[in-house]
C-alpha cells in the first residue's frame, strides 16, 4: 500500500528495469494471480479430487492494456483480503488436503499459501527497487 501510494500516473508506466514489465503490468499480474490462488485454495478445500488448471502468465497479460495501475492495485488488495479471510477459516484438515497440479504434482493449501505470499513479495521488491533513490554515478 505504501509503495503504490508513491506512484504517479507516469510511474505506473515505467518499466521496473530495462526491457522488463512496467509497474502497471506487474500490478495487473499480481492481482490476476491473487485471484487465481484464491480460486485454487477455495476449490482445493471444497472439491474432492480438485485439480489445478495451469495458467500461462504471459498469455493472461495479452488483454490487460486497458487496466490501469490503481485499478489493478485495488483488485489485488480486495482479493488479498478475501484470501486472508478464506485462509483464516481453514481447519487443520483443510490445510492438509491434496490438490493436484499437472506440472508440480501433489500440493497442499499450505504450499499454495506459501507460493501466493512469495509471489507478492517477489513483485513488491521490483516495485520498491523502482522507487528507491538511484545512486548518483558521479559520486
Distance CA 46, CA 33 (A): 20
The answer to whether 115 and 37 are in contact (CB under 8 A) is: yes
The answer to whether 41 and 87 are in contact (CB under 8 A) is: yes
Instruction: Give residue 12's pLDDT.
Output: 80
Is the pLDDT at 138 greater than 60? The verdict is no
Which residue reads 558521479 in cell numbers? Answer: 138
pLDDT in tens, 43-77: 999 999 999 999 999 999 999 999 999 999 999 99
H/E segment holding residue 100: strand 99-101
Please provide the average confidence, as pLDDT, over all residues in the chain.
88
Instruction: Give residue 14's pLDDT.
Output: 81
Per-residue confidence band for 8, with pLDDT thresholds at 50, 70 and 90: low
Q: Which of 6-10, 65-69, 115-119, 135-139 has the lowest mean pLDDT?
A: 135-139
Instruction: Give residue 137's pLDDT.
Output: 41
Per-residue confidence band for 7, with pLDDT thresholds at 50, 70 and 90: low
Amino acid at each position: 500500500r505504501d509503495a503504490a501510494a508513491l506512484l504517479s500516473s507516469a510511474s505506473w508506466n515505467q518499466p521496473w528495469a530495462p526491457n522488463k514489465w512496467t509497474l502497471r503490468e506487474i500490478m495487473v499480474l499480481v492481482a490476476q494471480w491473487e485471484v487465481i490462488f484464491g480460486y485454487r485454495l477455495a476449490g482445493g478445500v471444497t472439491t474432492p479430487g480438485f485439480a489445478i488448471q495451469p495458467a500461462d502468465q504471459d498469455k493472461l497479460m495479452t488483454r490487460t492494456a486497458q487496466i490501469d495501475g490503481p485499478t489493478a492495485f485495488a483488485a489485488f488488495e480486495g482479493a488479498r483480503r478475501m484470501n486472508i479471510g478464506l485462509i483464516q477459516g481453514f481447519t487443520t484438515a483443510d490445510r492438509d488436503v491434496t490438490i493436484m497440479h499437472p506440472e508440480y504434482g501433489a500440493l497442499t493449501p499450505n504450499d499454495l499459501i506459501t507460493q501466493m505470499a512469495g509471489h507478492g513479495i517477489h513483485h513488491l521488491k521490483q516495485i520498491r527497487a523502482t522507487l528507491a533513490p538511484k545512486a548518483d554515478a558521479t559520486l
